[in-house]
Amino acid sequence: MKCPYCADPNTQVVDTRENEDGDTVRRRRRCLTCDKRFTTYERVELQLPLVVKKNGSRTDYDRDKLKASMSLSLRKRPVTTESLDAAIDRIEERLVQLAEREVSTDRIGELVMRELKKLDKVAYIRFASVYRNFEDLDEFSDAIREVKKPRVRRPRPA
């Protein structure tokens, strides 16, 4: 591992810890040349399928693009970065479980909508309005009805 400060390849691992889920390893390192410390993260890199766009072109899966898209829907909503990352992890796990070499943007969109529905209803509606290309208020109303919980009526005290 090269030092980010002096680019020397001689570094030493000072501390190693796994995250709670056990899927990421955090390592504190010290450069043997300049003596500065830095942190690295190790994560298993899974083989994700190629993404087939609506026009038929194919492209590599891009986690950052997915995160940007979901973040746009979640803008100014009370959802933590950790929750968003966990949702993206679940989407990626599902894509790997499909065991397909290619996946359509439609399939990814449906997975995103499922996760946003769990995270934040407003973000779900925002994403759905663009993804499903809503053209009138009835389509918004249908989507809102889909996520709206029926209210439980409690008897009034006598």
Task: Read off the pLDDT of residues 83-133 as tens digits, 9 standing for 90 and up.
Answer: 999 999 999 999 998 889 999 999 999 999 999 999 998 898 888 877 776
Mean pLDDT of 17-46: 89
Highest mean pLDDT pick, 11-15, 17-21, 22-26, 144-148: 11-15
Share of the chain above pLDDT 90, in %: 59
Share of the chain above pLDDT 70, in %: 89
Which residue is it, tokens 């499903």? Answer: 132
Phi, psi of 30 (to 5 degrees): -130, 130
As a whole number, the mean pLDDT across the chain is: 87
Token pair of 11, please? 């570094």
Phi, psi of 77 (to 5 degrees): -110, 150
The model's pTM is 0.60
Domain ranges of the chain: 11-43, 50-146
pLDDT band per the 50, 70, 90 thresholds, residue 69: very high
pLDDT band per the 50, 70, 90 thresholds, residue 68: very high
